[in-house]
Amino acid sequence: MDFSFTEEQTLLRNTVERFVQDKYDFETRAKIIKSDDGWRKDYWQQFAELGILAAPFDEDHGGLGGSAIDIMVMMEELGKGLVVEPFLPTVVLGGGFLRHGGTAAHKAEVIPAVIGGECVIAPAYAEPRGRFNLADLETTAKKDGEGYVLNGHKAVALGGPWADKFIITARTSGGQRDEQGVTVFLVDKNTDGLSTRDYPTVDGYRASEVMLDNVKVSADAIIGDVDNGLELVERVMDEGIAALCAEACGVMKQLVDKTIAYSRERKQFGVAIGSFQVLQHRMVDMYLNYEQSVSMTYMVNLKLGEDATERKKAASAAKVQIGRAGKFIGQNAVQIHGGMGITEEMDVGHYFKRITMIDTQFGNVDHHMRRYAALSE
């Protein structure tokens, strides 16, 4: 057993940490999320130059051959800075689909473009009426000669406005919620019939509704196997959860630290509010919640390679922990900051907003409790 980090991992962490410290202070981020574009494309280029975008990919394709732990340390640092650039959608999810299911051609063409910062990918797996069930798809892909025709509406694709390509889940056969019949497609944004409605999200990101109106793609667009895509989707989403948990740990760390610091400085009744025992115990509970979350984040990242049932249980368990801890920590960080906690001008409220939405992303506590219970039957 070993819970230490390799030299490479420490180096990666330091790289991201330094980037966030130097270039992603609170004011800069505030400007970025308010700007028309909503992200800094030049930062994305810098990510490419720093090797951040290359971490999980094979050396054959120009990557660094990193593991889930490499992603974990980076995501934690990105979380600390509330970085909105689409590392999770593009590198973790997009990259995951390409690595586990992409054809040799995808790998040869798309992975280097991702690594080079020239290709942003936004997975569009959710649907307006599907909630968190990844198989509940109304979007269809019908065979059309050699290719397929896609029709449907994909919901809340994070990073969509910046994407060059979407990864789209669609039904190629079976009933609306059948496990069989799900197929994954890699589709260029500028394909005829594909349109988006772009909007900001409540936690500072950008997302798109993706409308598919007779979108014609060739069979080369398929990632993984026809009809058997669900296992791939679940695998990639579990990797996404593992990365998201790490981001959440970064966010929670900030919430805990900032609250402790504030309670030391803020004086009422002639003393620091941190001297009130009721607040001390609250902050202790915040800390406990954070530590338990770090443990679960390590756990899931170490178990991503295990058999599917173990992996799924690990991901769901970690997501439940993160969802609950995030709520407790977020709410109490705001509470202990008093009125300041709900102002746009103070950073703590922004961490609170993000940790809140992390519970929804990839399915909330209830969803993952249900999934865990079903897997344990």
- Contacting positions for another protein (CB under 8 A): 126, 128-133, 136, 155-156, 158, 176-177, 197, 199-203, 205, 207, 209, 267-270, 276, 278-279, 327, 331, 334-335, 338-339, 341-345, 349-350, 352-353, 356-357, 360, 364, 366, 369-370
For residues 59 and 89, is the Cβ–Cβ distance under 8 A? Answer: no
Q: Which residues contact 284 (CB under 8 A, 6 or more apart)?
A: none
**Considering CB distances under 5 to 8 angstroms, the limit depending on partner class, which of ligand FAD, another protein, none binds residue 350?**
another protein
Crossing angle, helix 365-376 and helix 308-337, to 10 degrees?
150
Q: CB-wise, 204 or 349, nearer to ligand FAD?
A: 349
Q: How far is the CB of 330 from ligand FAD (least distance, A)?
A: 14
- 190 vs 268 by CB, closer to ligand FAD: 268
Rounded to an integer, what is the distance from CA 236 to the centroid of its chain? 11
278 lines the binding site for ligand FAD (CB under 6 A): yes
Long-range contacts (CB closer than 8 Å, 24 or more residues apart) made by 254-258: 254/79, 254/80, 254/347, 254/351, 255/286, 255/329, 255/330, 255/333, 255/348, 255/351, 255/352, 255/355, 256/283, 256/286, 256/287, 256/290, 256/329, 256/333, 258/333, 258/347, 258/348, 258/351
Residue of closest CB approach to ligand FAD? 338
- Alpha-carbon span 330 to 358, nearest angstrom: 11
Binding of residue 342 to ligand FAD (CB under 6 A) = yes
Kindly report the three-state secondary structure assignment for every residue of 121-135. Answer: EEEECCCCCCCCCCC
Nearer to another protein, 66 or 161 (CB): 161
Q: Site size for ligand FAD, by CB under 6 A? A: 12
Measured from the CB atom, is 128 or 305 closer to another protein?
A: 128
State the DSSP string of 285-339: HHHHHHHHHHHHHHHHHHHTTS-HHHHHHHHHHHHHHHHHHHHHHHHHHHHHHGG
Pairing between strand 121-124 and 165-171?
parallel
Scan residues 311-340 and list those touching ligand FAD (CB under 6 A). 335-336, 338-339
Shortest CB 287 distance to ligand FAD, Å: 17
* Binding region for ligand FAD (CB under 6 A) out of 2-10, 102-110, 186-194, 271-279: 271-279
Interaction partner, residue 107 (another protein, ligand FAD, none; CB < 5-8 Å by kind): none
Least distance from ligand FAD to the Cβ atom of residue 258, Å = 13
**Residue 105 in contact with ligand FAD, rule: CB under 6 A:** no
DSSP 8-state symbol, 38: S
Q: Which of 5, 132, 199, 276 binds ligand FAD (CB under 6 A)?
A: 276
Rounded-to-integer distance, Cα 170 and Cα 150, Å: 8
Q: Which is nearer to ligand FAD, 170 or 336 (CB)?
A: 336
Using the minimum distance from each CB to another protein, give the nearer residue, 195 or 343: 343
Interacting residues with ligand FAD (CB under 6 A): 266, 268-269, 273, 276, 278-279, 335-336, 338-339, 342
